Amino acid sequence: MKSEWFSWTKPKSLLKWKTRREHLRRRLRDDELGKVDVFCLQEVDEFENEWKEFIENELNMGVFYKRRTQKSNNKKDGSLVCWNKTKFELLDTLGVEFNEVTKTLDLDIKEVEGFEEEEKREHERDCVAACVMLLHKASNVPITCVSTHLYWDPAKALVKLKQAEYLREEIERWSQTKGNILIGGDFNSLATSDVYKSMVENDYVSLMRDNETGREPEYTNVTPSFTETIDYIFSSKNWIEKVTHRGKVKNRDLLFDGCPCEGEPSDHLPIYCDIELKKADAN
């Protein structure tokens, strides 16, 4: 994490990797987040050296990691899904590479020289998703869990929309169903965006959206110039009985000038919820 990206974080020692790593590990190990059965992380760097052993041995969880591709830059982070091995059995894994979106684009405009290659480069942003198919042992219900990170740039709304569409298509093709799917991640998109609308208009619901107010959490990303919700947990419809608990984001007054800050080692706030599955039909 480059300190110049987070000029508001004080003291600067909070941005040192060893400090952040220990704070992140403590969050996953000790507080309410440490009780979750499945969690999704994005922008995970140094997975083999810093996280794999910690997750498998200290958290005693299963993990699947997908590192980003490197066609547009040399960043080496990725997304991962972890699960409680006592409650879930791993059935299958899939890594989705959003650069493959270029194979689905309509590139019929040939009059402009170089258009096709330019359009492909526009969509080759090296974003990925990690997908696991898990068997919930108590109910014998298969569940597809996905961790994803869409492209960041607010000016590239179409790129993000195509990524969201491609992700749904790949998950549904791979799992051979539109049911029992959970997608958690950084969508880099507001709840008024086409990305969000494309999810809810294609049989997905946001599990963090309050039933009474119809609103998402007030914010998941906090900086001096941008305080909005851009992270979500989406679920396919008709297999969850209800959301029994939604975690609350920390009060804005406790976040100083923005994240990372004291008590919040990431630049995004965690979102999490408890769900109750529908009982299987006896017939």
What pLDDT is attached to residue 120?
86
First to last CA, the chain: 54
Do 171 and 135 contact (CB within 8 A), yes or no?
no
In the chain, which residues have pLDDT < 70?
1, 31, 107-115, 280-283
What's the pLDDT score for residue 267? 95
| pLDDT digit string, tens, across residues 226-268 | 999 999 999 999 999 999 999 999 999 999 999 999 999 999 9
Per the DSSP assignment, residues forming a β-bridge with 271 are none
- Read off the pLDDT of residues 50-87 as tens digits, 9 standing for 90 and up: 999 999 999 999 999 999 999 988 999 999 999 999 99
Q: Which CATH superfamily is domain 3-277 in?
A: Endonuclease/exonuclease/phosphatase (3.60.10.10)
Cα 272 off chain centre by: 11
At 215 the pLDDT is: 96
So what's the pLDDT on residue 111? 52
CB 221 within 8 A of CB 245: no
